[in-house]
Amino acid sequence: MPELPEVETVVRGLRRPLVGQQIIAVEYEKSSVIRRPSPDEFMARVTGQRVLSINRRAKYILCQLEDGILAVHLKMTGRLYVADQPATEESGVDRWVRILFRLANGQTLYFSDARRFGGVFYIHDIAEIAPNLGPEPLEDNFTPAVLTERLNGRNRQIKALLLEQSFIAGVGNIYADESLFAAKIHPLRRADTLTKAEIKRLHGTIRDALNSGIQHEGASINWYRKPDGTTGESQDHFAVYDREGEPCLRCGAPIVKIRVAQRGTHFCPHCQPERA
């Protein structure tokens, strides 16, 4: 599933072609990805509105309209892009377009989703669909003190906790693994056993991993593509994620893969020793 860097890259890629454009029509298939409100009401609310800005909250893309917000969650296989028309037979048909928004300038905003796990919403506040989101890890108000406070009294495994969107917004499997490796913290460590120095280090590595992901425009290891259809490059810079059996870039020991919170988890057992 796209994480904060991938979603942020999509947001940045959509601003130039989409901001200022008016939505003049909406078309969708029967098995719609419209999650809220009903399809008829959704069309009535969105049609005719102009896109004022595009931002991100957690893993949601938020298109601010003149009245309300067009929110999109990509989930596992979602793609959002602006084009003159869908791909052709020659270039590869995008047969997974589930909903499209005709724009006044003749272009179209497409939402493609092979597995239909993603969704679009018409809302006025993100709390309507995601009421318990945690802090944004790249904002100035996310400090080591805030992370310390949120960890206080938590006895869950640190990797599992990092995946909770109510704990920190936007961090997922990839960047949790990368952050823990850089901080030299075993993914099975109980959160309440982390020292003050480890928490401070983890705070920095979370931000570093996410900023690196944004700099390299996301990780194209499965379905994720940038709005222009090209791939991101974050996967070329992973230290541990998806590198099972390969030598650790720091010590040379083989990278190990286990499961934490039902997610494949990569770490170096030498650099990230498990402690009592």
Q: Is 12 part of any domain?
A: yes
Q: Is 197 part of any domain?
A: yes
Cα 79-209-5 angle, rounded to 5 deg: 20
What CATH number is associated with residue 201? 1.10.8.50
Structural domain ending residue among the three candidates 128, 156, 191: 128
- In this structure, the answer to whether residues 53 and 115 fall within a common structural domain is yes
Q: Is 275 part of any domain?
A: no
Q: From the candidates 57, 154, 190, 263, give the one annotated as an active-site residue.
A: 263
- In this structure, the answer to whether residues 96 and 207 fall within a common structural domain is no
Q: Are 194 and 151 in contact (CB under 8 A)?
A: yes
User: Phi and psi of 183, rounded to 5°?
Assistant: -85, -5
Domains held by the chain: number: 2
- In this structure, the answer to whether residues 124 and 160 fall within a common structural domain is no
**Measuring CA to CA, which residue among 146, 150, 17 is closest to residue 84?**
17
- In this structure, the answer to whether residues 13 and 111 fall within a common structural domain is yes
Q: Is 137 part of any domain?
A: no
* Mean confidence (pLDDT) of the chain: 94
CA separation for the pair 221, 233 (Å, rounded):
9
154 assigned to active site: no
Residue 208 has pLDDT above 70, yes or no: yes
CA distance to 65, 138, 142, 179, per residue, from 204 (Å): 35, 10, 10, 8
Structural domain ending residue among the three candidates 99, 128, 157: 128
The pLDDT of 233-259, averaged and rounded, is 97
The per-residue pLDDT for 90 is: 47
3 assigned to active site: yes
Specify burial of residue 144 (Cβ count, 10 A radius: 0-12, 13-18, 19+). middle
Report if pTM > 0.85.
Answer: yes
- In this structure, the answer to whether residues 163 and 92 fall within a common structural domain is no
Q: Are 113 and 98 in contact (CB under 8 A)?
A: yes
The per-residue pLDDT for 95 is: 85
The per-residue pLDDT for 43 is: 95
Residues comprising the chain, all counted: 276
- In this structure, the answer to whether residues 13 and 88 fall within a common structural domain is yes
Residue 57 has pLDDT above 90, yes or no: yes
- In this structure, the answer to whether residues 37 and 149 fall within a common structural domain is no
- In this structure, the answer to whether residues 169 and 230 fall within a common structural domain is yes
The per-residue pLDDT for 201 is: 98
Q: From the candidates 2, 5, 137, 227, give the one annotated as an active-site residue.
A: 2
Q: Are 258 and 246 in contact (CB under 8 A)?
A: no
Share of the chain above pLDDT 90, in %: 90
Q: Is 133 part of any domain?
A: no
End-to-end Cα separation, the chain, in angstroms? 32
Q: pLDDT band for position 98 (50/70/90)?
A: very high
User: CB within 8 A of 199, min separation 6: which ones?
Assistant: 144, 147, 148, 151
Q: From the candidates 56, 59, 189, 201, give the one annotated as an active-site residue.
A: 59
What CATH number is associated with residue 68? 3.20.190.10
Q: Is 139 part of any domain?
A: no
Q: Is 162 part of any domain?
A: yes
**Measuring CA to CA, which residue among 9, 4, 11, 77 is closest to residue 232?**
9
Domain encompassing residue 85: 4-128
- In this structure, the answer to whether residues 114 and 160 fall within a common structural domain is no
The pLDDT of 178-206, averaged and rounded, is 97
128 assigned to active site: no
- In this structure, the answer to whether residues 244 and 153 fall within a common structural domain is yes
Residue 58 has pLDDT above 50, yes or no: yes
pLDDT tens-place string over residues 125-178:
999 999 999 999 999 999 999 999 999 999 999 999 999 999 999 999 999 999
Q: Helices marked H in 48-195 — which ranges?
A: 144-151, 158-163, 173-183
Structural domain ending residue among the three candidates 128, 156, 190: 128
Q: What is the DSSP string of 208-232?
A: HHHHHHHHTT---SSS---TTS---
Strand, coil or helix: 156 = coil
CA separation for the pair 116, 118 (Å, rounded):
5
59 assigned to active site: yes
Q: Is 134 part of any domain?
A: no
- In this structure, the answer to whether residues 99 and 57 fall within a common structural domain is yes
Q: From the candidates 3, 6, 8, 217, give the one annotated as an active-site residue.
A: 3
Q: Are 218 and 228 in contact (CB under 8 A)?
A: no
pLDDT tens-place string over residues 70-97:
999 999 999 999 998 765 544 455 889 9
- In this structure, the answer to whether residues 168 and 227 fall within a common structural domain is yes
